[in-house]
């Protein structure tokens, strides 16, 4: 999908991005965003940093780091940050909504088929050839962003340590916190500041809510909305972390879903484009049709919009503080390390034979040598998968 030149914000004399151009750009990413958060971030980096020059690489990395530190779907929050950067609160709403909307509609359609037929449509052919392309896109993003993010030898060492920690299954949020702490200590050591300025957050600030096990709670749309609002406000990490929260809430506590229904919902969130958190849309639909899908989607994504709206204006102030800026540099290095590990793990499961390897090598050549738009690569891979299997 190509953005009409008349809507290209680079053509505007005042340098502003039109809301229509912003909407079309994020709708396109919502349609093409296969592969999970790392792939989404790679696509945004190519689209908005390299192609459109809407945002500098340094600003993009700052927003990626901020999204990694707040609850919710990180790639969606990066999209919301970019929208806010270009058009304030209107851009924030337009960018986030348009990135989420294609996946939410597709997941709702799949949920309707699931409710009617009791099974999921098979799209394995297209996914088989899309995955190697996604690997290449993420590789390029990690490589490009690392030139801006890894500015010193200490940051390079911190990134390598973060990779090792992630490979040993250390919690992603802890990895980012340790990376930020390490760069803070390096900065304090260089400037001979007193480390007492570091304040550790108290674990007493976390609130755990439990309910009596084994008692089914009556279903209601308000309760569905607030259940997903709670999850969207506290969950960090990947779709696998989300699975734990969903199981605890809807299988064990509320008894609204079976284990099989939950696994099917998470599967849909994994193989559809756009945010993995649209798993909530699927659950909402099978529980209460379209009203349930709307309530669940609003509930799980609303915290991300609010957190970005609050934290976005703080980023320039953080950058003006040398110590806070050093912490942010460490978090950025840790984020890229996590992306690199995701690329490796995803690659092992995606490139299984010579056909997938050939698609990956061809995509690498077209993307790096000829700078072909990733939208064409993904579209071509999907077409190849469709015709190959049929």
Rounded to 10 degrees, the C-alpha dihedral 133/138/139/145 comes to 150
Angle between helices 124-149 and 37-44 (to 10 degrees): 60
Count CB-CB contacts under 10 A for residue 361: 13
User: Which pLDDT belongs to residue 271?
Assistant: 67
Region label for 382, one of left (φ > 0), alpha (ψ between -120 and 50) or beta (otherwise): alpha
At 96 the three-state DSSP class reads: helix
Indicate the pTM of the whole model.
Answer: 0.66
d(CA 341, CA 187): 27
Q: Rounded CA gap, 11 and 21, in Å?
A: 11
Which of helix, strand or coil describes residue 177?
Answer: helix
How many CA atoms lie within 13 Å of 65's alpha carbon, on the beta-carbon side? 27
pLDDT by residue (tens digit) across 112-144? Answer: 887 877 665 556 677 678 778 878 877 877 887
Angle at the Cα of 33 (from 330 to 237), degrees rounded to 5?
40
In the prediction, which pLDDT does 97 show? 96
Q: What is the pLDDT of residues 63-88, one digit of tens each?
A: 888 887 777 788 899 999 999 999 99
pLDDT at 248: 78
First vs last C-alpha separation in the chain:
24
Q: What pLDDT does residue 4 have?
A: 41
pLDDT less than 50: residues of the chain:
1-14, 193-213, 390
pLDDT in the model for residue 198 = 42
Residue at token pair 């992306």: 339
Report pLDDT for 210. 40
Q: What whole-number distance in Å separates Cα of residue 187 and Cα of residue 325?
A: 10
Q: Are the beta carbons of 126 and 385 closer than 8 angstroms?
A: yes
Tell me the three state secondary structure of residue 290.
helix
């Amino acid at each position: 999908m190509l953005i009409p030149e008349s809507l290209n914000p680079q053509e505007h004399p005042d340098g502003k991005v039109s809301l229509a151009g912003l909407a079309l750009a994020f709708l396109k990413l919502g349609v093409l965003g296969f592969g999970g958060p790392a792939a989404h971030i790679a696509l945004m980096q190519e689209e908005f940093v390299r192609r459109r020059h809407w945002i500098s690489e340094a600003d993009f990395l700052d927003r990626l780091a901020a999204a990694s530190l707040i609850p919710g779907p990180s790639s969606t929050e990066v999209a919301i940050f970019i929208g806010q950067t270009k058009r304030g609160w209107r851009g924030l709403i337009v960018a986030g909504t348009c990135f989420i909307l294609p996946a939410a509609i597709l997941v709702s359609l799949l949920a309707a088929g699931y409710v009617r037929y009791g099974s999921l449509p098979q799209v394995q052919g297209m996914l088989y050839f899309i995955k190697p392309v996604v690997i290449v896109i993420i590789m390029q993003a990690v490589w490009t962003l690392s030139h801006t993010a890894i500015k010193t030898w200490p940051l390079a060492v911190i990134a390598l340590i973060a990779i090792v920690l992630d490979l040993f299954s250390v919690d992603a949020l802890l990895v980012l916190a340790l990376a930020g702490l390490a760069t803070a200590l390096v900065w304090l050591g260089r400037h001979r500041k007193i480390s007492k300025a570091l304040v550790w957050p108290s674990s007493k600030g976390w609130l755990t809510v439990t309910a009596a096990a084994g008692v089914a709670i009556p279903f209601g749309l308000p309760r569905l909305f607030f259940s997903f609002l709670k999850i969207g406000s506290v969950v960090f990490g990947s779709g696998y972390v989300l699975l734990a929260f969903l199981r605890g809430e809807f299988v064990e506590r509320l008894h609204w879903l079976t284990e099989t229904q939950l696994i099917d919902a998470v599967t849909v969130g994994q193989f559809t484009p756009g945010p993995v958190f649209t798993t909530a849309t699927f659950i909402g639909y099978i529980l209460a049709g379209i009203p349930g899908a709307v309530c669940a989607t609003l509930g799980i994504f609303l915290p991300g919009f609010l957190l970005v709206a609050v934290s976005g204006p703080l980023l320039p102030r953080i950058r003006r503080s040398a110590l806070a800026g050093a912490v942010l540099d460490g978090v950025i290095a840790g984020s890229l390390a996590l992306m690199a590990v995701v690329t490796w793990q995803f690659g092992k499961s995606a490139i299984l034979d010579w056909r997938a390897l050939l698609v990956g090598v061809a995509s690498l050549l077209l993307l790096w040598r000829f700078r072909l738009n990733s939208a064409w690569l993904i579209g071509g891979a999907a077409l190849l998968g469709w015709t190959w299997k049929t």
